[in-house]
């Protein structure tokens, strides 16, 4: 029952699906079933989760602030994992630290007079890269982020159901 004309091949969903499935197969290819210890399982879980986030962020490219921030975070984390003494990494983390501190300053100053400061700050922590946004952009990014998260959840649910049969 293939209805290929119903599925948009360039939609967010399909892009994410292809990327994620590719990453999943790669992960499964790396580790044959030697993993029975909880640490191994946990490592694989982390890898799958990172793959999910990464494939979603890559599907959105840098069009959105949150995807850019997420890609950046993932990249800096991967650099840290690979090469703990790299100068590049330290540069990136320094940038991250400085960015974060400046963002914190701006957020503390951001008493917009609109009155939802605590909720807005909480939302900023949830949405990646949220610290840099004012409330208007934050709401925009939140909406897109929710949409992408729902896509992610849908696709992952289907994949998980498929595997659990």
Cβ closest to other proteins, residue 85 vs residue 165: 165
Cβ closest to other proteins, residue 33 vs residue 85: 33
d(CA 39, CA 89): 26
d(CA 104, CA 99): 8
String of DSSP letters for 50-87: HHHHHHHHHHHTTSSHHHHHHHHHHHHHHHHHH-TT-H
If one asks whether residue 62 binds other proteins (CB under 8 A), the answer comes out as: no
| Contact string (CB under 8 A) for other proteins, positions 24-53, x = contact | xx-xxx--xx-xx----x--xx--xx--xx
Whether 134 and 112 have beta carbons less than 8 Å apart is answered as yes
Cβ closest to other proteins, residue 76 vs residue 142: 142
| Contact string (CB under 8 A) for other proteins, positions 101-140, x = contact | -----------xxxxx--xx-xx--xx-------xx--xx
């Amino acid at each position: 029952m293939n209805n290929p004309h119903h599925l948009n091949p360039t939609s967010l969903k399909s892009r994410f699906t292809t990327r994620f499935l590719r990453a999943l197969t790669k992960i499964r290819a790396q580790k044959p079933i030697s993993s029975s210890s909880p640490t191994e399982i946990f490592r694989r879980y982390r890898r799958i989760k990172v793959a999910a986030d990464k494939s979603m962020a890559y599907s959105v490219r840098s069009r959105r602030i949150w995807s850019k921030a997420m890609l950046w975070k993932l990249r800096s984390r991967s650099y840290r994992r690979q090469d703990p003494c790299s100068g590049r990494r330290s540069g990136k983390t320094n940038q991250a630290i400085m960015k974060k501190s400046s963002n914190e300053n701006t957020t503390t100053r951001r008493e917009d007079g609109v009155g939802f400061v605590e909720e807005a700050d909480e939302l900023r922590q949830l949405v990646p890269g949220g610290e840099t946004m004012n409330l208007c952009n934050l709401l925009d990014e939140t909406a897109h982020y929710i949409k992408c998260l729902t896509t992610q959840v849908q696709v992952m649910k289907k994949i998980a159901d498929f595997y659990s049969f």
